């Protein structure tokens, strides 16, 4: 097998596992114990929150507010107010922002020009967080699979030993019947 004179380190065991190499039973047991005894899952939200910058937090707040129904309804009310205000003022002879509402278009263009990249920054960070969650899920699934395989092997061994015991008991029972 792999181990001859020296004890294989945990790092080497993991490398062998990743290369699908053959492990001796002692190394395999140690790897399984290592995986079972030590938690491998992480709290992605806490880890991500710890490294947020002020800009990241602001982008999240803007995205949270700009992506809500309250923002949509409020903005619609603002637009209606703007149009009514400028239409009524225009009828009085004062032209602050006459009909094609060029100033309103400028304001809306500026808001859209700033809002879009801020929302994209927040979405990119969310995608990174999702990627961390996927990696964490993979590690947990791998650990679960290894544990299940180990339990399956142990169950097979138990069943094999139970069959041996049953055969021995049946043999003893047959000998008792002969005597």
Least confident of 5-14, 62-71, 97-106: 5-14
> What would the mean pLDDT of 28-49 be, rounded to a whole number?
69
Alpha helices in the chain (DSSP H): 10-18, 25-37, 44-50, 54-66, 69-91, 102-178
pLDDT of residue 16: 60
24 plus 47 within the same structural domain: no
Is residue 132 within 8 A of residue 44, CB to CB? The reply is: yes
pLDDT in tens, 39-80: 666 777 777 888 888 988 888 888 888 888 999 999 999 999
Q: Side-chain half-sphere of 52: how many Cα atoms within 13 Å?
A: 21
40 vs 98: which has the higher pLDDT: 98
Where in the sequence is the domain holding 79, given as residue range(s)?
39-178
33 plus 120 within the same structural domain: no
pLDDT of residue 4: 44
20 vs 116: which has the higher pLDDT: 116
54 plus 34 within the same structural domain: no
Give the integer Cα–Cα distance in Å for 129 and 18: 25
57 plus 34 within the same structural domain: no
171 plus 102 within the same structural domain: yes
pLDDT in tens, 129-179: 898 888 888 878 877 887 888 889 899 999 999 999 999 999 988 888 887
Q: Which residues touch 59 (CB under 8 Å, ≥6 apart)?
A: 118, 119, 121, 122, 125
77 plus 109 within the same structural domain: yes
19 plus 59 within the same structural domain: no
- Give the largest CA-CA distance in the chain: 125
Q: Side-chain half-sphere of 122: how many Cα atoms within 13 Å?
A: 17
pLDDT of residue 96: 79
The number of distinct structural domains making up the chain is 2
Is residue 102 within 8 A of residue 112, CB to CB? The reply is: no
22 plus 44 within the same structural domain: no
Q: Please determine, for residue 24, whether its predicted confidence score (pLDDT) is greater than 50.
A: yes
32 plus 116 within the same structural domain: no
pLDDT of residue 97: 81
153 plus 71 within the same structural domain: yes
Tokens of 69: 């129904």
**Geometric angle at alpha carbon 37, from 11 and 50, rounded to 5°:** 80
pLDDT of residue 3: 41
33 plus 70 within the same structural domain: no
Is residue 119 within 8 A of residue 62, CB to CB? The reply is: yes
Q: Please determine, for residue 2, whether its predicted confidence score (pLDDT) is greater than 70.
A: no
């Amino acid at each position: 097998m792999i181990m001859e004179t020296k004890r294989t380190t945990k790092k080497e065991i993991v490398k062998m596992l990743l290369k699908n190499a053959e492990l001796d039973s002692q190394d395999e047991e140690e790897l399984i114990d290592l995986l079972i005894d030590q938690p491998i899952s992480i709290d992605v939200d806490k880890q991500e929150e710890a490294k947020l910058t002020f800009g990241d937090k602001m982008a999240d707040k803007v995205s949270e507010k700009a992506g809500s129904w309250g923002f949509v309804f409020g903005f619609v009310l603002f637009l209606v107010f703007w149009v009514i205000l400028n239409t009524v003022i225009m009828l009085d002879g004062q032209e602050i922002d006459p009909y094609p509402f060029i100033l309103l278009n400028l304001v809306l263009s500026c808001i859209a020009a700033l809002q879009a990249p801020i929302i994209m920054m927040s979405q990119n960070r969310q995608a990174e967080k999702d990627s961390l969650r996927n990696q964490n899920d993979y590690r947990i699934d791998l650990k679960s699979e290894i544990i299940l395989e180990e339990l399956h092997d142990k169950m097979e061994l138990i069943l094999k030993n139970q069959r041996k015991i049953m055969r021995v008991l049946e043999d003893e029972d047959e000998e008792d019947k002969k005597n």
